[in-house]
Amino acid sequence: MKYSDIKEHLGKFKVGIAGAGGLGSNCAMALARCGVGKLIICDNDVVERTNLNRQYYFEKQAGKLKCEALKENIELACSDVIVEIHNILLDPENIPSVFSDCDIIVEAVDNSETKEMIIKAVQATMPATPLIIGSGVAGWDNTGNLRSRKIDDTLYVCGDEESEVSDDLPALAPGVSIVANMQADLVISLLLNIKR
Amino acid sequence: MKITINNREEEFDRDKLTVNEMLELKRFTYKLRIVKVNGKLIPREEYDSTYIYNKDDVQMLYLMSGG
C-alpha cells in the first residue's frame, strides 16, 4: 500500500487520546504524521520542565496547558490534521461524551488507577470501540520485553505489563516513546483493516 | 476443570473457582489488573462472587503506572 493511499484512508478516521503526557504526546504526534484525520485529546495538566525528558514538548512551553501545547506542536508538523482538545479531568461521566464517535481510543494516562477507571468506563459505555492501553514503560535496557498484545477485539495492551515507575525506575524518553509508538502502530493497523 | 488464562490452558482440581481463588492459586500478585471472563470485564468488587467454570476463557492484564 502506498503512503498516499494510507494517508487518504486514515484521513477518514477519528482517534481519541486520553492523556497528553509521555504516551499521549508521542502517540498523537505519530498518528498525525501517518495522516489520521481527527484527534480528540484530553488532558488537564500543564507542561513542566520535568516532563521534557520524555514528553513531546519544548522548554518555552513550560506552564502551558498540555492539550494546547500538543495541538500547537502537531499543527507545526502536520497542519491538515484536525485536533480537538479538552482541558478536562477524565471521569466515568465525561468519557462517553468526549470520545463518543471515536473509531479507536488510546489510553495514555500515567496512573494505574486512572487506567483502570478508563478501561471500565470505555468497555461499559462504548463496548464496540477498541481501546489500546499502555502498561509497563518504566526503565531502560528493556526494549526486548516491550510488546503489544491483543486481549480481545476491543482491548489491546502495549508495554511489558511489569515495569512500574518509581524514583529509581523513571519513565524515560526511549521506553515511553517506543510504547507510545506501539500504540500508534496498533491504531493504524486496526484502521487500515476497516473499510470506509 | 480446564480453563484458558491468557490463551494458555490451565488445569485445576476443582469444578469451579471464584476469580479471587484463581488469582490466589496462580499466585498472581500485582495489585492492579483487569480480568475478563469470556469477554466480560469483572469489576474488583465481584472477584469473590464471580465463578470461573470448565472451558472458560480468562484474560488478564496488569496495569502499571507510568506514561
Tell me what the mean pLDDT of segment B18-45 comes to: 90
Task: Give the residue among A97, A123, A98, A88 at the shortest CA–CA distance from A40.
Answer: A98
Residue of A nearest to B40 (CA): A123
Q: Return the number of other C-beta atoms located less than 10 Å from residue B13's C-beta.
A: 6
Percent of chain B with pLDDT over 90: 84
* Residue from B30, B62, B63 to probe the interface with A (highest A Cβ count within 10 Å): B63
Say yes or no to pLDDT of B31 above 80. no
DSSP for A74-102? HHHH-TTSEEEEE-----TTHHHHHTTT-
* Cβ contact A163–B64 (<8 Å): yes
Q: Which CATH class is domain A3-192?
A: alpha beta
> What are the extents of the domains in chain A?
3-192
**B-chain residues near A171 (CB < 8 A):** 66-67
Three-state DSSP at A151 gives strand
pLDDT band for B30, please (50, 70, 90 cuts): confident
* Cβ contact A112–B32 (<8 Å): yes
Q: Does B62 touch chain A (CB under 8 A)?
A: yes
Which residues of chain A are under the pLDDT cut of 70?
none
**A-chain residues near B46 (CB < 8 A):** none
Predicted confidence (pLDDT) per residue in A145-179, tens digit: 999 999 999 999 999 999 999 999 999 999 999 99
| A56 Cβ neighbours under 8 A, 6+ residues apart | A25, A26, A28, A29, A70, A73
pLDDT band for B27, please (50, 70, 90 cuts): confident
pLDDT of residue B29: 73
* Cβ contact A152–B59 (<8 Å): yes
Predicted confidence (pLDDT) per residue in A95-115, tens digit: 999 999 999 999 999 999 999
Closest partner residue to A21 (CB to CB) among B43, B62, B67 is B67
Which domains, from first to last, does chain B contain?
2-62 (3.10.20.30)
Helices and strands (H and E) in chain A: how many:
6, 7
Task: Give the residue among A42, A41, A66 at the shortest CA–CA distance from A52.
Answer: A66
**A-chain residues near B64 (CB < 8 A):** 112, 135-138, 159, 161-165
Residue of A nearest to B62 (CA): A161
